[in-house]
Amino acid sequence: MASDIGFSVSCNIRATVAPPIPQAAQWAQKFTPTSSVPLLDMSQGVPGILPPPSFFESLTEVSRCADSVKYGSIAGDLLLRSALVSEMKVVYGKQIDVEADDISLTSGRNMAFLAAIMSLCDPGDEVILPVPWYFNHQMSLTMLGIQPIPLMTSPEDGFVPFVQLCSTLITERTKAIALVTPNNPTGAIYPPSVLASFAQLAKERGIALILDETYRDFITSGPPHNLFDLHAENGSSWRSHIIHLFSFSKSYCIPGHRLGTIIASPTLQQHIRTVLDSMQICAPRPVQLALAPLLPSFRPFIRSTAEALKARHDLFKACLPQPWSIGAQGGYFAFVRHPFQGIGAKEVCKTLAEQWGIVLLPAEFFGSSVSGHGDQWVRFAVANVSDENVQMVCGRLKEHLAATKWNTVG
């Protein structure tokens, strides 16, 4: 393409893949929806519902007060950070050793990842990512000149990574391992024992474990892990090797307000806050002020949303027509094997979006091409849609199976 700029752009940004969601949106635009055949968008991991009315009321109230238009502290408002510590005790147990000083608030979790990486890594360093990976992780690393190192996972293991394999990938340039659980894109929920073994590996090898738990509130089976416990791991503190990331976008249903967290040792927080001061100065004020007094009151809403999502996953599993088959499921996503022989997942997604009005993302968008099984897998964002739409998607997939000339396996 001819350039209309008379200067060169960064080599690192040119080496970074373009945002993939707009590509799926382009496919979707070719579909003409009707009132009886609507577009069914299961592409982006966005909440399908609004936050409780109390949030809007609180936001309206705080937006009238002077504090909401002022800069706040770099770390974020102490009231919200303290409220978050109490909420974390609800999620992980009362015994956890996390304090307000361990927390920085960011303009969303993507900003939190960037700030964590910028405070840890230099260009040329390496960060290990399980494949398939969250595409913004790969993008953030590449644009900073940091090498993402793929840690293969397999459908046979439910896309849960192996710590032994990970240990063979560590070099003198490795700065961190970044895990996402429940995972995007696979939905895999990493068992507490797996997380403990990765934490131990990071500690032994003197690198950081970056743990993204954006979807943790959708685990309904108990605490996600005990890594924050005071005397976990032989009396040592998580602070020596763990950096924890969280987003308010999903369980609190406020992605547009851009609010996330980094939990790390205050020693590292010093550097993280240097990055944050340069990039955002402070996280958005109105949402911090609005949320702080409300945080505990969100818990019943979060629990019932998690239960509803679990039921929707069960419904999806029950309705998905064979030979489509689920590889892993959890949090916002289901990772599903398409049944078409010799047809790439990207072509499957393009056809389904353009001709059948079902918008999905192929595994290729999540780095799966490096793993060799990317062509078979498709991500369904189960959280975006209603139960009724899940049934409609499955019905349309069935109609497509009956109509398509593509050969199916099995």
Ligand X SMILES: Cc1ncc(COP(=O)(O)O)c(C=O)c1O
Cα separation, 281 vs 59, whole angstroms: 21
Stretch that binds ligand X, among 103-111, 150-158, 196-204, 234-242 (CB under 6 A): 103-111
Q: Is 212 a binder of ligand X (CB under 6 A)?
A: yes
Stretch that binds ligand X, among 18-26, 107-115, 196-204, 383-391 (CB under 6 A): 107-115
Q: Which of 52, 150, 255, 266 binds ligand X (CB under 6 A)?
A: 255
Cα separation, 120 vs 241, whole angstroms: 12
Q: Which of 110, 119, 138, 269 binds ligand X (CB under 6 A)?
A: 110
Peptide linkage before 150 cis (omega within 30 of 0): no
Stretch that binds ligand X, among 58-66, 104-112, 232-240, 280-288 (CB under 6 A): 104-112
Q: Which of 31, 133, 134, 218 binds ligand X (CB under 6 A)?
A: 134
What residues numbered 40-59 form the site for ligand X, per CB under 6 A?
45
Which residue, 232 or 295, is less far from ligand X as judged by CB?
Answer: 295
Report in angstroms how near the CB of residue 236 gets to ligand X at its nearest: 27
Report in angstroms how near the CB of residue 2 gets to ligand X at its nearest: 34
Q: Is 247 a binder of ligand X (CB under 6 A)?
A: yes
What residues numbered 214-243 form the site for ligand X, per CB under 6 A?
214
Q: Is 260 a binder of ligand X (CB under 6 A)?
A: yes
3-state per-residue secondary structure call for the chain:
CCCCCCCCCCHHHHCCCCCCHHHHHHHHHCCCCCCCCCCEECCCCCCCCCCCHHHHHHHHHHHCCHHHHCCCCCCCCHHHHHHHHHHHHHHHCCCECCCHHHEEEECCHHHHHHHHHHHHCCCCCEEEEEECCCHHHHHHHHHCCCEEEEEECCHHHCCCCCHHHHHHHCCCCEEEEEEECCCCCCCCCCCHHHHHHHHHHHHHHCCEEEEECCCHHHCCCCCCCCCCECCCCCCCCHHHCEEEEEECCCCCCCHHHCCEEEECCHHHHHHHHHHHHHHCCCCCHHHHHHHCCCHHHHHHHHHHHHHHHHHHHHHHHHHCCCCCEEEEEECCEEEEECCECCCCHHHHHHHHHHHHCEECEEHHHHCHHHHCCHHHEEEEEHHHCCHHHHHHHHHHHHHHHHHCCCCECC
Report in angstroms how near the CB of residue 84 gets to ligand X at its nearest: 14
Report in angstroms how near the CB of residue 281 gets to ligand X at its nearest: 17
Question: How many Cβ atoms from other residues are within 10 Å of residue 165's Cβ?
Answer: 13
Q: Is 180 a binder of ligand X (CB under 6 A)?
A: yes
Distances (CA, A) of 11 to 138, 141, 145, 242, 301: 15, 13, 9, 31, 45
Q: Which of 23, 43, 186, 249 binds ligand X (CB under 6 A)?
A: 249
Q: Is 280 a binder of ligand X (CB under 6 A)?
A: no
Report in angstroms how near the CB of residue 134 gets to ligand X at its nearest: 5
Cα separation, 360 vs 40, whole angstroms: 9
Which residue, 110 or 280, is less far from ligand X as judged by CB?
Answer: 110
Report in angstroms how near the CB of residue 340 gets to ligand X at its nearest: 27
Q: Which of 119, 184, 269, 329 binds ligand X (CB under 6 A)?
A: 184
Q: Is 261 a binder of ligand X (CB under 6 A)?
A: no
Which residue, 31 or 133, is less far from ligand X as judged by CB?
Answer: 133
**Whether the Cβ atoms of residue 199 and residue 233 lie closer than 8 Å to each other:** yes
Number of residues that bind ligand X (CB under 6 A): 13
Which residue, 180 or 378, is less far from ligand X as judged by CB?
Answer: 180
Stretch that binds ligand X, among 108-116, 163-171, 334-342, 383-391 (CB under 6 A): 108-116
Report in angstroms how near the CB of residue 310 gets to ligand X at its nearest: 18
Q: Is 108 a binder of ligand X (CB under 6 A)?
A: yes
Binding mask 136-175 for ligand X (x = CB under 6 A): ----------------------------------------
Q: Is 330 a binder of ligand X (CB under 6 A)?
A: no
Report in angstroms how near the CB of residue 45 gets to ligand X at its nearest: 4
Cα separation, 6 vs 23, whole angstroms: 27
Q: Is 20 a binder of ligand X (CB under 6 A)?
A: no
Report in angstroms how near the CB of residue 64 gets to ligand X at its nearest: 26
Q: Provide the token pair at 266.
A: 């205050």
Residues that bind ligand X (CB under 6 A): 45, 108-110, 134, 180, 184, 212, 214, 247, 249, 255, 260
